[in-house]
């Protein structure tokens, strides 16, 4: 990877490896989300995709995630504007908005321990989709995000 690529290049100029390296591994994009058909608002649950290893906040089958979870969201530089629901801490969102990476980001800090200690990751509050019946999802809503057309 190129040195300080996140500071020197636009998102659409990154290599696939650099794009992937921007992921801080917080797991927040792996939380289940449901869009209200009437309002368009997005309900975010504390329920994580069945593939997410909640302790490490990494996908348990990243290479095959789209086959195993057809509605898995693929973040790409071309689609970054579609993902306004990403948390303000997300490196993809921060860079798309012209901000720098947070000091706790693994590319800056050298590992993910700082991110976990700061409570950025879902490790401290998420539960696995395998452990929550669909009928209980409403009880697990942690945020309602207004989505502008």
Note the pTM of the prediction, 2 decimals: 0.89
- Residue 29 and residue 86 in contact, taking contact as beta carbons nearer than 8 Å: yes
Q: Which segments of the chain are extended strands (E)?
A: 31-35, 42-48, 52-53, 58-59, 127-128, 141-145
Tens of pLDDT along the chain (149 residues)?
Answer: 999 999 999 999 999 999 999 999 999 999 999 988 888 899 999 999 999 999 999 999 999 999 999 989 889 998 888 888 889 999 999 999 999 999 999 999 999 899 999 999 999 999 999 999 999 999 999 999 887 64
Q: What is the pLDDT of residue 54?
A: 95
CA distance 58 to 61: 9
21: tokens are 């390296």
120: tokens are 């950025």
Q: Is 112 exposed, middle or buried (0-12, 13-18, 19+ CB in 10 A)?
A: buried
CA distance 120 to 112: 10
Chain-centroid distance, C-alpha 28: 4
Q: What is the dihedral of CA 114, 119, 124, 127, to 10 degrees?
A: -110
Q: What is the pLDDT of residue 148?
A: 66
């Amino acid at each position: 990877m190129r040195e300080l690529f996140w500071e020197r290049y636009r998102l659409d100029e990154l290599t696939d490896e650099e794009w992937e390296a921007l992921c801080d591994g917080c797991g927040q994009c792996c939380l289940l989300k449901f869009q209200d058909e009437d309002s368009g608002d997005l309900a975010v649950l504390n329920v994580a995709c069945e593939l997410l290893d909640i302790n490490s906040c990494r996908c348990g089958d990243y290479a095959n995630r789209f086959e195993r979870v057809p509605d898995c969201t693929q973040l790409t530089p071309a689609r970054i504007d579609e993902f306004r629901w990403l948390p303000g801490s997300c490196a993809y969102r921060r860079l798309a908005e012209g901000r720098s990476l947070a000091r706790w980001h693994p590319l800056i800090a050298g590992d993910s321990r700082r991110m976990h200690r700061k409570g950025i990751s879902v490790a401290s509050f998420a539960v696995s989709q395998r452990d929550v019946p669909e009928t209980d999802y409403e009880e697990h809503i942690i945020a309602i995000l207004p989505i502008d057309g």
